[in-house]
Amino acid sequence: MVFWPFKCLVSIAWFVIFGGPCCNTIPAVGFQKKNWYLMRLQLFFAILFSLLIAAPSQAQDSLRFYRLYLKDKGTPFRYLSPGDLLYPEATRHLTPRALQRRAKVLPPDQLVSTDDLPIYQPYLDAIAATGAEIAQKSRWLNTVMIRTDSATHQKLLALPFLDSIRTARTVTPAQNPFGKTTAQTHDDEPHTETGNCIPDQYGLATIQNFVMGFDKAHQMGIAGEGVLVGVMDGGFDWRNHLALRGANVIGEYDFVYGDSTTYDLPGETNSESHGTIVASTIAGYLPGKFIGGAPRATFLLARTEDIRRERNIEEDHYVAGLEWLESQGVDITNASLGYTTFDAPEQNHTYAELDGKTAIASRGINKAATLGVLCINAAGNDGANSWRYVGVPAEADSAVAVAAVDSAGRIANFSSRGLRGRGLKPDVAAMGVKVFGADASDTARITSAQGTSLASPLATAAAALILSARPDLKPWEIRQLLTTTADHADKPDTAYGYGLINVGRALLKLSQTKAFVGFPKASVSGERLTVIAWVSTPRTATATATAETITLEATNVATGTQWSASATAPYSGIVQWTIDPATLTNAEQGDSIRLRFTIGGEELRRSALRVWSGSSKPESFLCEGISPTSTLITSAAPNPLRGGTTISFSTESDSHVTLRVFNALGQQVATLIDADLPAGRHTALFNPAGLPVGAYHYFLIAGGKSSSESLIYTR
């Protein structure tokens, strides 16, 4: 109705011009009386103008967001086979890569279901016919987020296909929800590139990469090749920043504004800053200045966060982003986002909802996980706040919730804690204090920050490296490798979860049961094609059988010529294959070569790369100086340690082994091994009882090779 404003205006006019019951005296002097009326009229028109200006705002405030839960997709739930009439519509948005990933975890007859169908169009038409504005949809959860007024809300309640409805409302701007604290910026560091072996070129990322064990993977040539990572955040400046300009981004979408760009548009400020630093800790590559954890991975970017305000619809954007990423075939997703409280008067989450399966974003993660996606999410930065618990959607049953620790492995006070009795959360920890990454405010600047927002992408990079080493791993196998080799694996709790993860330890555990091959290098010298790659194979210390053979099958894409060669696989080390001149045909500089590695008939890796004279092209990070007989991989777990820690290592042949521990002053504090050992895998226990807390390191010598790692002893 529009009558009440006019009634009010009449009353206001009478009161303002002629006075009210308490103001009935009028000045007697003419000009004073004239001015008095003039002033009253001016005041009246000022009030009238204010009311007219406020009217649209009042109408705007009357609009609310409602999430509609629909009963079905116009048909009962069922799995869809290629012969089903609904199959083409259900798979139109799915890439072959998405179906291949689903096939890793689902039976062949359950790859596609009616959940993959879009919202039933007659239902959408009926919703639109009420006058409601459709703001977001989820095909998995069969929900529609709409924006409308209370009158239309009553019409919606009468729709026969509506299962339930929930109210959400906001018009209030919010602060940046991420809780990122910038410590310092660095834009004057040298930028050099001196080869492909990159652990000595990490620059400002050195500490975080070594703490996470990324160097162990990089020196084997494993840097995320073949893995598709999806990152959801508030925006990304990946086109301009030097550390991200070369990232292999194959697609992006903005679910907040509904367009295909995820960078700041005119009039937007700082929406891309958080996503830029997050993405760079995985994808960044600026040798000598900054290198991320998995820079050779492939990326899809989704803007799902609206930093202008904190609204319930952002969870719907989150689920829509997950659905798009899954449909494109992503293996792993990262989201440094969380939802607990919202701008008034929207509905906040309650502790009762933190059951891993109720909140809309958490339900989205659980669905994505059933389709073979490993979903990694920041635990949250509320550890020191009144709401101190892991939020939505990190609390989801299938989410890998990541806590933040410092470089010594100590939990950050801001890192959100898990709720007792609700399942173990957080799941793991990663470095989240003084983590470096790209600063969106300058195309060359690297900045440091803290928060679980930075820990989560480091954990994502770790998962990408493990999957890159062994592409057939299922999400729960990657998760198990991360948790069982973390530094609190023996005593998980609601602060650390299973503790600080380390890629080196995870790859060591993987190598005990499965062979893997790093990304190779290929070169042409004369008429010979030479391929080298890091290979790790499982063997026991008592193994006496003949060493396993690893076979390389190569195809020249330009000519179709095929070759095959075999080599003996070591425990861990570089293997070389040389294609004999009589077999090599027309392999030229820059030719693309498809490579397939097998062991015992089992495929370990497929790769494609170009051949060069020498191997200077940076397609692989393989460190060629590593000896095939070196003692790798060594690791200590737990580390940091409060009690004992187990040091694991492997030897290629029978050899004399010494293993000693030194303190920070270089003084020897323990001799753990000084004996002849057979080839194979071995362990030694270091118990620091009686020693002061602090930094130590072990030094291992076997067969003329050495390896060492720092140990942090805490109480």
Dist CA 252 CA 229 (whole Å): 12
Average pLDDT value for residue range 399-416: 95
The verdict on pTM exceeding 0.75 is: yes
List b or e across 170-197, with b for residues whose CB sees 16 or more CB atoms inside 10 angstroms: beeebeebbbbeeeeebeeeeeeeeebb
Share of the chain above pLDDT 70, in %: 78
Question: Which of 430, 431, 485 minimizes the C-alpha distance to 636?
Answer: 485
On whether residue 96 sits in a domain, the answer given is no
Q: What is the pLDDT of residues 561-595, one digit of tens each?
A: 788 888 877 667 888 888 765 454 555 666 678 88
Is the pLDDT reported for residue 334 higher than 90? yes
Q: Are 237 and 247 in contact (CB under 8 A)?
A: no
Torsions phi, psi for 541 (to 5 deg): -65, -25
Give residues with Cβ within 8 angstroms of 114, minimum separation 6: 73, 75, 76, 77, 78, 80, 86, 90
On whether residue 75 sits in a domain, the answer given is no
Question: Which of 460, 526, 61 minimizes the C-alpha distance to 293?
Answer: 460
**3-class DSSP state of 659:** strand
Domain match, 401 and 549 both: no
Q: What is the pLDDT of residues 446-491, one digit of tens each?
A: 999 999 999 999 999 999 999 999 999 999 999 999 999 999 998 9
**3-class DSSP state of 12:** helix
Domain match, 24 and 55 both: yes
Q: What is the pLDDT of residues 303-331, one digit of tens each?
A: 999 888 888 889 999 999 999 999 999 99
Domain match, 323 and 453 both: yes
On whether residue 675 sits in a domain, the answer given is yes
User: Which stretch of DSSP H or E encloses residue 55?
Assistant: helix 30-61
On whether residue 617 sits in a domain, the answer given is no
Dist CA 677 CA 656 (whole Å): 6
Domain match, 229 and 308 both: yes
CATH of the domain at 639: 2.60.40.1930
On whether residue 118 sits in a domain, the answer given is no
Domain boundary, last residue among 442, 473, 504? 504
Which residues on neighbouring strands pair with residue 231, listed in sequence order? 301, 334
Domain boundary, last residue among 483, 504, 525? 504
CATH of the domain at 524: 2.60.40.10
Determine the pLDDT at residue 252. 96
Residue 536 lies in domain: 516-610
On whether residue 253 sits in a domain, the answer given is yes
Domain match, 471 and 604 both: no
Give residues with Cβ within 8 angstroms of 571, minimum separation 6: 511, 536, 537, 539, 650, 651, 652, 679, 680, 681
Show the CA angle centred on residue 523, arms to residues 606 and 551, nearest 5°.
Answer: 40
Q: What is the pLDDT of residues 73-124, one digit of tens each?
A: 999 999 999 999 999 999 999 999 999 999 999 999 999 999 999 999 999 9
Is the pLDDT reported for residue 631 higher than 50? no
End-to-end CA, the chain: 69
On whether residue 615 sits in a domain, the answer given is no
Alpha carbon 531 to its chain centroid, in Å, reads: 33
**3-class DSSP state of 219:** coil
Determine the pLDDT at residue 681. 74
**Cα→Cα distances 701→630, 631, 675, 695, 711, Å:** 10, 8, 11, 20, 17
Determine the pLDDT at residue 183. 36
On whether residue 630 sits in a domain, the answer given is no
Domain match, 497 and 542 both: no
Q: Are 427 and 393 in contact (CB under 8 A)?
A: no
Determine the pLDDT at residue 664. 67
Is the pLDDT reported for residue 544 higher than 50? no
Dist CA 710 CA 696 (whole Å): 6
Is the pLDDT reported for residue 622 higher than 50? yes
Amino acid at 501: I
Dist CA 390 CA 175 (whole Å): 20
CATH of the domain at 494: 3.40.50.200
Domain match, 244 and 373 both: yes
Q: What is the pLDDT of residues 461-470, one digit of tens each?
A: 999 999 999 9
Domain match, 212 and 355 both: yes
Q: Are 391 and 380 in contact (CB under 8 A)?
A: yes
Domain match, 569 and 653 both: no
Domain boundary, last residue among 443, 477, 504? 504
Dist CA 639 CA 157 (whole Å): 57
**Overall domain count for the chain:** 4
DSSP 83: T
Domain match, 449 and 379 both: yes
Domain match, 569 and 648 both: no
Dist CA 616 CA 521 (whole Å): 9
Question: Which of 672, 667, 663 minimizes the C-alpha distance to 693?
Answer: 663
Is the pLDDT reported for residue 64 higher than 60? yes
Domain match, 453 and 584 both: no
Dist CA 364 CA 335 (whole Å): 13
Is the pLDDT reported for residue 59 higher than 60? no
**Cα→Cα distances 44→129, 273, 616, Å:** 41, 47, 80
